[in-house]
Amino acid sequence: MADTMQFDLVSPERRLASVQATEIRIPGAEGDLTAMPDHAPLITTLRPGVLEVITPAGSTTYVVTGGFAEVTGEGTTVLAERAHPVEEVTQAMVDEMIAEAHEAHKAAHPDVADVTAKLLSDMVAMSGHIGLDANVPNF
């Protein structure tokens, strides 16, 4: 079994990481998962949450708001709709993300209202996880 695997994190704005990692903790849409070297191949969508990358040198965390993760035996690639290192995330950024999710929920067709409510809930949980106030508007 290999000790590390290639990890790449890319958002539309920039490449955030390209490192050798021992594990990646991914906020998958169907539940959290941990990818490690020699993991079975899979592709999953992301939910808003905190992605953690463990390397031999330590751990780095990122806020992601959606996208895809592809895990192969040799590496993991995350293509995120929006991604930021946790230390760069400000209260104003969280407020904006939650406001966008709230507007999407208000504008959603009744058939997808549950999906947008879950998105909003995940945004709120993510903000609490990184220690920021969600300032949640009422549904």
Q: What are the residue ranges of helices labelled H in the chain?
A: 91-107, 113-129
Q: Which pTM value belongs to this model?
A: 0.81
Reported residue count of the chain is 139
- Among 5-19, 84-98, 125-139, the minimum mean pLDDT is found in 125-139
Span 103-126, pLDDT tens digits: 877 787 777 667 777 777 777 777
Q: What is the dotted CATH code of the domain comprising 5-86? A: 2.60.15.10
Q: Any idea which residue has 């995330």 for tokens? A: 89
| CA distances, 42 to each of 27, 53, 76 (Å) | 14, 18, 10
DSSP code for 37: T
Span 4-34, pLDDT tens digits: 999 999 999 899 999 999 999 999 988 999 9
Beta 75-80 vs 42-46: how paired, if at all? unpaired
Closest CA to 79 of 26, 32, 31, 5: 26
